[in-house]
Amino acid sequence: MSEAQEFKYIGQRTIRPDGYDKVTGRAQYGADLSLPGMIWGRTLRSPHAHAKIVSIDTSKAEAHPDVFAVVTFKDFGSVEGESINAGEGAADVLDLARNCLADDKVLYHGHAIAAVAARTERAADDALDLIDVKYEVLSPVMDVEDAMKEGAPVLHEDMFTQGYEETPSTPSNIATRLEMKMGDIEAGFAEADVIVEREFRTPTAHQGYIEPHACTARYDEDGQSMVWCCTQGHFDVRTSTAKLLGLDLSKLKVVASEIGGGFGGKTVVYQEPVALALSRKAGRPVKMVMNRDEVFIATGPTSAAKLKAKVGAKKDGTITAMQGWMAYEAGAFKGSPMMPGVMTMFTPYDCGNVQVEGFDVVVNKSKVAAYRAPGAPQAEFAAEMVVNEVAEKIGMDPIELRLKNAAKEGTQTIYGPKLKTVGLIECLEAARDSDHYKSALADGCGRGIAAGFWFNIGGQSSVSINMNTDGTGTILEGSPDIGGSRASMQMMAAEVLQIEPSNLKPIVADTDSLPYSQGTGGSRVTFATGMAVIEAAEDVVKQIKERAAAIWNVTAEQVDYADGVAINTAGEEKMSLAEVCQAAEKTGGQISGTGNINARGAGPSFAVHLCDTKVDQETGKVDVVRYTAIQDAGKAIHPSYVEGQFQGGAVQGIGWALNEEYIFNDDGVMENPGFLDYRIPLASDLPMIETIIVEVPNSFHPYGVRGVGESGIIPPLAAVGWSVGDAIDRKVEELPCSPPRVLSLIQNG
Amino acid sequence: MAKSHVSTSINGEPVEYLCDPGDTLLDVLRNELQLTGTKEGCGSGDCGACSVTLNGRLVCSCLVLGVEAEGAEVGTIEGVGANDKLHVIQEKFLEHAALQCGVCTPGLIVSTKALLEENPNPTEEEARYYLAGNLCRCTGYDKIIRAVMDAAETMREGA
Amino acid sequence: MALVVFSSELQLFTGEECTHVEAARFKEIVAELVDKYESLTEEKLMEMAVAIDGEIIHTPFLEVVGEDSELHFLHRISGG
């Protein structure tokens, strides 16, 4: 589809169907399920960032009168190092198991070692103190520079760098090296009149969802089991948990509770296999809920990174060459999002000479998890800062420079295909014409602009629509609703069936009730699960036509369907959807549509953000005074929740740019594992976040949808970073722009 | 350790419970009384997800002991609306799409109710500062503040 | 004959930027490429996504491409 379509329901701002439960407190989240006979699980965590485990003695804990079970790595049985699809792409099972409970080594402060299930949470905590672990403490490696040095302590003796023509024969902390290039980078720089090159750093930052990880697990006598948990992908929780515990998939039901934020961080398992192992041993249901400090030290975060960007341009603004280098922290196990970093870094630009090299590096921090457009914010931060400096050097408006070089349909990407229709130019034009950009900057303020690119994904989604005898229906989907997507599913089904959205009840079904569905991530749900909903609804319409045709003794082709009514084109008869559903008993049984798909053709979403900041010259404190987020939605199904994604992404990016960072002491122990010291943005820190929804339809989606969840977190890092630099007449090279760092820039340049 | 007996009032109804002296009011609400609308985000008073009122004063229930509710009046999210009708604040949160994941929403609604009882006509800045103790990671606060300002206006008109 | 364009990473195996393939079915295209380039393995190609005329397909097992199609192998993307 490419032309603008007319819609009956899509594009309205309906009340979300799950909203009433959420404003009244009825909605049940990860920690809200209690079962009869339930006991509590708690986790013993490593006080060291890097150590060998010499021995673990759990006998005293097991003897505690309130303790029912203690588990360690050994309780996972035999896990081998095979690759499974466990959330955010392929994961190594052995790494996953070793992250849930350490095997012979602890690799970060907070690494889980053992878990106890006891009558009360307090008793479980007391029993943890009775577990005796002997360590041989090793030197921690806390950043990519130290980790990549020759002679650095090695985390994994069996890790040999992949990605060189010849794999090295000695182990190192570099898991993977990746290089992508096109054109002639040297020739490109030779053509340039201006070249800017800088080095940047971004901190370890956490997804910061307000709901800690939580689950309740129950293992029954007959081997049937159930896990209730807050997750972005309950089918992937089932895969991982079943693998670690050696269960058949049919014997493990995973129920996705309501989820209190995830942003990528709830795509992997931490406690779920442990809780089920405890339940199996204890013969009781087990609940596990992380404390906030556990969330910080042992889940997420995203990669800290060191990056270099070099961009060359002619005086007229034509960019001639773009070169990047990046090293991303993976945390304790390989698998940082360096690869998408390499792929996205310069994608907003139509430049033929590009070269990017990336390194995936293990360090003694918790294993990184996906975080909203994983890998892209760091890489594009470096790129956008340098592009802004190029514009400054040649005296060109930064939006004009971007418009001159903007990626568009047909632009060759570094990662493979040429782009199809995309909306970057439309976003840039909307930024240029916005009230914000046309307004003069207040005294003492700085202004920054940046673009962002994210691919978005499709993937497997399974949907059933079951029609009731009164013409209402239930939509069963397998994608946990993290930001209002049930409203979108309801509207898309309503659009196909041409009935009021409120007549359709969307439900996130458990793993027993639907075929496999990939998790909520990659901005895929409204796009891919939406396509599955449309397909299921079209299946219902097809059956409605067939049933009406049978009643009228005509062929299905002779039946039209419009405005919720089947019409006999060979006669005069009409039947409403409700009437056909009511007659289903007489025409072959109840009506149910399915859409089990592997969605293809995800459309990238470009974003452009504008940021004005004011800097207190005496303290270095930065205030965001005006902010505008512009992004291509393809088609906004529910505009309020599309704006919500733009605003939420922007503010997470603002937090990353201004305040958020992990602080470690010399022993690799995190010193700020709480919301007081790891400071995410508060209501009082922010202005309204203005939004402009651009709609350049994705030709591969029936309604033109692009995912919108992730791109919005990319531009803030450079929009804020450049704005702060502009306000203090300095060049920012390191995030976050926290008061001490900004003050030091003001004072020392 | 012996449990303490507590007589209190929750959302206007008399309630009695037994709790450990070390249990927080949040533990009691969630685990003893199954009032799970009040959420735990941090356990240290930093996030506001567990906001309730204690004798009309807005508090983090994770920082109050269960025994401190003796003889007090506790207000939770479960008591904000009437039996069959949402409170104006709840309606405005829905209308303005002021929630995404919704886990901070009960705390924000309890806090907003406390704000508007103290100050029926807050400026945007006053609202932002009053609600600064309620963290939301999904929305960027924009739609929350719009919902709060609209609720304030509607409540003033209805008063 | 469809055109297969190789990323810089795959060029390490193929030694050239692109090639034409006879086959139309994806599985046969992969077999043809593995035959032609000694160091390129089926496993390597099958773990990648493919873009056919710009449409990114995560698991392109049964695809049939047109005479004038352009194919790019690329890394599978996940997300947050």
Across the interface, which of B31, B35, B44 has its CB nearest the CB of A674?
Answer: B44
Tell me the C-alpha distance between A641 and A17, whole Å.
13
Q: CA of A599, closest CA in chain C: separation in Å?
A: 8
From the CB coordinates, do chains B and C have 3 or more pairs under 8 Å? no
Tell me the C-alpha distance between A273 and A77, whole Å.
12
CA neighbor of A685 nearest in space, from A740, A614, A626, A624: A624
**Positions of chain A with pLDDT under 50:** 1-2
Q: CA of A414, closest CA in chain C: separation in Å?
A: 8
E strand or H helix that includes residue C51: strand C49-52
Q: Which residue has the tokens 């390490």?
A: C12
Which chain C residues touch A if contact means CB-CB below 8 Å?
A: 5, 7-9, 12, 51, 54-59, 70, 72-80
DSSP string, A194-240: EEEEEEEEE--B----SSPPEEEEEE-TTS-EEEEE--S-HHHHHHH
Q: CA of B86, closest CA in chain A: separation in Å?
A: 8
CB-CB neighbors (< 8 A) of A601 in chain C: 55-57
- Please name the fold of domain B4-79: Ubiquitin-like (UB roll) (3.10.20)
CA neighbor of A258 nearest in space, from A502, A527, A528, A508: A508
Q: Quick one: pLDDT at residue A84?
A: 67
A165 touches chain C (CB under 8 A): yes
* Structure tokens, B115: 């704000």
CA-nearest residue to C70 within chain A is: A417
CATH number at residue C29: 3.10.20.30
Q: Quick one: pLDDT at residue C12?
A: 85
- CA A124 to centroid of chain Cα atoms: 32
Same fold, A33-139+210-261+266-298 and A305-456+603-748: no
- Domain assignment present for residue C79? The answer is no
Across the interface, which of A373, A415, A598 has its CB nearest the CB of C80?
Answer: A373
Could you read off the pLDDT of C39-68 as tens digits, one per residue? Answer: 899 998 988 999 998 888 988 889 999 999
Residues of chain B with CATH 3.10.20.30: 4-79
List the domain boundaries for chain A: 19-26+458-599, 33-139+210-261+266-298, 305-456+603-748
The domain A33-139+210-261+266-298: what is its CATH number? 3.90.1170.50
CB-CB neighbors (< 8 A) of A261 in chain B: 100-101, 103, 137-138
The domain A19-26+458-599: what is its CATH number? 3.30.365.10
Q: Quick one: pLDDT at residue B58?
A: 98
CB-CB neighbors (< 8 A) of C76 in chain A: 89
- Domain assignment present for residue C80? The answer is no
- Please name the fold of domain B88-158: DNA polymerase; domain 1 (1.10.150)
Q: Checking DSSP bridges between strand A225-229 and strand A252-256, what pairing results, if any?
A: parallel
Q: Quick one: pLDDT at residue A5?
A: 82
CB-CB neighbors (< 8 A) of A455 in chain C: 56, 77, 79
ipTM: 0.98
Model confidence, pTM:
0.97
Interchain proximity A648–B137, CB inside 8 Å? yes
Residues of chain B with CATH 1.10.150.120: 88-158
CA atoms within 13 A on the CB side of A524: 33
- Domain assignment present for residue C31? The answer is yes
Q: Quick one: pLDDT at residue A260?
A: 98
**CB atoms near residue B84 (< 10 Å):** 5
Please provide residue A621's backbone torsions phi and psi, each rounded to the nearest 5 degrees.
Answer: -75, 135
Across the interface, which of A24, A259, A291 has its CB nearest the CB of B77?
Answer: A24
**Mutation to test the A interface, candidates B76, B137, B145, most A Cβ within 10 Å:** B137
CB-CB neighbors (< 8 A) of B85 in chain A: none
A227 touches chain C (CB under 8 A): no
**Mutation to test the B interface, candidates A40, A210, A213, most B Cβ within 10 Å:** A210
Tell me the C-alpha distance between A663 and A678, whole Å.
9
Q: Quick one: pLDDT at residue A372?
A: 97
Q: CA of A528, closest CA in chain C: separation in Å?
A: 12
Q: Quick one: pLDDT at residue A1?
A: 46
In this structure, CATH architecture of domain A305-456+603-748: 2-Layer Sandwich (3.30)
- C63 neighbors C26 (Cβ within 8 angstroms): yes
CB-CB neighbors (< 8 A) of C5 in chain A: 416
Q: Quick one: pLDDT at residue A2?
A: 46
The total of structural domains in chain C comes to 1
Across the interface, which of C56, C73, C78 has its CB nearest the CB of A521?
Answer: C78
Q: Quick one: pLDDT at residue A119?
A: 97
Interchain proximity A420–C80, CB inside 8 Å? no
Q: CA of C63, closest CA in chain A: separation in Å?
A: 12
Please provide residue A630's backbone torsions phi and psi, each rounded to the nearest 5 degrees.
Answer: -120, 130
